[in-house]
Amino acid sequence: MKPATLEFIKQRFTEYYREGHLIAPPSVSEREWGFMYFESQAAAISMHRHMAFSAKRELFDYIRNVVPAHIYYSSAYYAEPAAPTMGEKRWYGADLIFDLDADHIMKGPYHLMLSKVKEETEKLLEMLTEELGFEKRAIRVVFSGGRGYHIHVTDISIRSWGSRERREIVDYVRGIGIEPRTIFSRDAQECAGGWRSRLQDVMEEYLAWLKERSANEALEHLTSIGGIGAAIANDVIKGIEDMIGELHRGDVPLLLRRRGVKTILSEKNPEFRRRLEECSARADEPVTTDTKRLIRMPTSLHGGSGLRVTPLAVRDLPAFDPLIDAVVFGRREVEVEPALTTSTRFLDNDYRVEKGVTERIPEALAVFLCCRGLAEIAGGRSIAAG
């Protein structure tokens, strides 16, 4: 990164923090804090942690004086958060955190990745509130400033949960361990909604997909599933309409007695499993099970994008557009030298910058591209990587 680029980014971050945009998380003094700094490319990848602040004023003063690239705090609550070892910190609880990262879901243009991960976040929120009973008032949604969203569940009744209890929650939302034949075999009233409803929808979609295939394609697909021969496959093909009707009537026991159906529902059928996986909320399991995780501070800036780590009420997520609503810098034009030819959607416009061509672009976009290593401020020497 060129000195001019580094100075440009630090000036913009300094301006943002000194204008008083920060909001501290609850219980500042009981959290461990961690920071990553701008000084050099080598320093930028090093986390400085085991820090503590007695009050939000002390925290804000530190941020405004140092101007970090990234700001993190612990999901955990400690009696001694600045202690150098976890044992000495004396853990006594942690918020329940979910992390959804677009990199784990799809590859593609940045704005499309953000759209897809938002869908996954909405799916997870519905599971947490409608199926698992968490109150919306105990949930905070945060755009990470990068490629995803964090969900903080701050209900005090679950604060003392260990990794095992948290793993059960994340396994549920991800559909890990879901056994379709077992769920379908249980009484419909006993397990209505939730995964039973999703399984019925997936089975109906799968049968409709199979019905659209030619006879040869359907036969080839079914016989590729271990345990299904040509005779059973032909019975399945002939019975598709009846099976769809049984699903609509809720007559799942009759459906399960049909030859081949239990095998179709099993792990031997990757097509069905793929469709079932799409119903899950693809949260990052290690983040949720970690009772001592550091998570980005809402209202801070993301040093890899210049976007605001944006807290949201659950009701505000559907209308939220991170490439508009998480942008904090202005539209005055800045000259940059693109490191790559890049097309991106930003501030409700489509932009394209060409490698080797000095471009004049809005300051907000310049911060975004420079933070991501896609451009340099025009002029100046490069800083050698450390």
The per-residue pLDDT for 161 is: 96
CA-nearest of 298, 374, 304 to 36 is 304
Max intra-chain CA distance, the chain? 75
The per-residue pLDDT for 381 is: 46
Token pair belonging to 155: 């209900």
The per-residue pLDDT for 105 is: 87
Q: Are 173 and 128 in contact (CB under 8 A)?
A: yes
Give long-range contacts, CB 8 A cutoff, 24+ apart: 181-185: 181/256, 181/262, 181/265, 181/266, 184/252, 184/255, 184/256, 184/265, 185/253, 185/256
* Domain limits, the chain: 22-174+283-325, 180-277, 333-377
**What CA–CA distance (Å, rounded) separates 68 from 64?**
9
The per-residue pLDDT for 46 is: 75
The residues annotated with a catalytic role in the active site are 99, 101, 284
User: HSE on the CB side for 4, CA within 13 Å?
Assistant: 13
Q: Identify residue 323 by its one-letter amino acid code.
A: L
First to last CA, the chain: 11
Domain at 22-174+283-325, CATH homologous superfamily: DNA primase, PRIM domain (3.90.920.10)
pTM of the full predicted structure?
0.89
CATH architecture of 333-377: 3-Layer(aba) Sandwich (3.40)
Q: Which is it for the CA torsion 265, 270, 272, 278, positive or negative?
A: positive
96-101 and 148-153 strand pairing: antiparallel
**What CA–CA distance (Å, rounded) separates 42 from 69?**
13
The per-residue pLDDT for 187 is: 62
**What CA–CA distance (Å, rounded) separates 92 from 18?**
34
The per-residue pLDDT for 307 is: 98
Reading the chain (386 residues) residue by residue, the pLDDT tens digits are 888 999 999 999 999 999 988 999 999 999 999 999 987 554 445 789 999 999 999 999 999 999 999 999 999 999 999 999 999 999 999 999 999 999 888 889 999 999 999 999 999 999 999 999 999 999 999 999 999 999 999 999 999 999 999 999 999 999 998 888 888 876 655 556 789 889 999 999 999 999 999 999 999 999 999 999 999 999 999 999 999 999 988 888 899 999 999 999 999 999 999 999 999 999 999 999 999 999 999 999 999 999 999 999 999 999 999 999 999 999 999 999 999 999 999 998 999 999 989 999 999 999 999 999 999 999 754 433 32
Which residues have C-beta within 8 Å of that of residue 220, sequence separation ≥ 6? none
| Integer Rg of the chain from CA | 25
The per-residue pLDDT for 384 is: 37
Q: Identify residue 20 by its one-letter amino acid code.
A: G
